[in-house]
Amino acid sequence: MGSPSGPPFDPDDPDRARRERDTEPIPRIDPDDGPGYGTGPRLSDGPSFSDDAGYGDGPAYAGEARSGRAWARDPEAGYLPPQISEEELAGLRADASGSAPRRVLPLEDEPSSLVARYLFPTERYRGEWKRHWIHLITPVLIGIAATFVLGYLSGFLAGQDVGALTTIAVLLWFGVMGWVAWRVADWWYDRFILTNKRVMVVNGIITRRVAMMPLVRVTDMKYEQTPAGRALNYGTFVLESAGQEQALREVKNLPNPNELYLRVVEEMYEPQAVEARLGKEQDEAKADDGA
């Protein structure tokens, strides 16, 4: 009968105690075993992860379920961005005060009769704008000054018994006020127009002037705002086309220049996105009318 493998038992071996300690089994930590181990959870109760954790159809982590986002797996293109839930989108539509984010939409769904005659059938209308009221500040101030000055002069001349001069002063006042009315009417018929193909400026009461520039020819566009323009929200647009002098190059006193700038730039660089957004808005409006 053979002896077991390994060195023979030696009670005086100094390494015997160390070998016995190293080969003892590790006891399982259990909070029910008694004091000294605390009341925390077992190691086996902690989170476990499978090989496909986070890549399945459902949420693999508790935080993912709370956020409403889940990563979708595409076998060909890798991993797609997380899908945003409707609850998260609702926070982007309006804040607590009721104000909504900026929506780049035309001011009117259809062009006015003044503008419609200059659009061809395949052209998509995007909006029209009158110049800012600051465009009328000079004629209005002249009219107010003329009213005070000529009114005082007419009263003074009436006391001097010079009826001819009084009549001249009154006629002069009517002439000034007629000029002011003409400038106001010219401002009313002056429009800046944006379509999916070009920008236009139409002005004039008796002699009509129509200037246009195709969007594909615009090489540079900027707007300028003076301190007064920033305070009153108006600016001057400058459009460049291949370094050439154009009929439509500088358009002064346009309202909401930042909004208008974004509209024009989006139409130049993202026309498909504009069409998709406007089509969706029209579908939602039709659905609301049907409801």
Return the higher-pLDDT residue of 275 and 72.
275
- pLDDT of 22 reads 63
Averaged pLDDT score across all residues of the chain: 74
Same domain as 250, residue 267: yes
Q: Are residues 119 and 239 in the same domain?
A: yes
Q: Are residues 176 and 200 in the same domain?
A: no
Q: Is the same domain home to 119 and 221?
A: yes
Give the pLDDT confidence of 127-138 residue by residue, as tens digits. 899 999 999 999
- The CATH number assigned to the domain holding 122 equals 2.30.29
Tell me if 281 is assigned to some domain.
Answer: yes
Answer yes or no: do 126 and 149 share one domain: no
Pick the more confident residue, 74 or 160: 160
Domain boundary among 189, 208, 235: 189
pLDDT digits over 188-214, tens only? 999 999 999 999 999 999 999 999 899
Give yes or no: residues 151 and 249 share one domain. Answer: no
Whether residue 14 is predicted with pLDDT greater than 90 in this model: the reply is: no
281 shares a domain with 163: no
The domain containing residue 253 runs over which residues?
A: 110-131+190-290
Domain for residue 21, yes or no? no
156, 274: one domain:
no
- Residue 144 and residue 123 in one domain: no
In SS3 terms, the chain reads as: CCCCCCCCCCCCCCCHHHHHHHCCCCCCCCHHHCCCCCCCCCHHHCCCCCCCCCCCCCCCCHHHHHHCCCCCEECCCEECCCCCCHHHHHHHHCCCCCCCCCCCCCCCCCCCHHHHCCCCCCCCEEEEEECCHHHHHHHHHHHHHHHHHHHHHHHHHHHCCCHHHHHHHHHHHHHHHHHHHHHHHHHHCCEEEEECCEEEEEECCCCCEEEEEEHHHCCEEEEECCHHHHHHCEEEEEEEECCECCCCCEEEEEECHHHHHHHHHHHHHCHHHHHHHHHHHHHHHHHHHHC
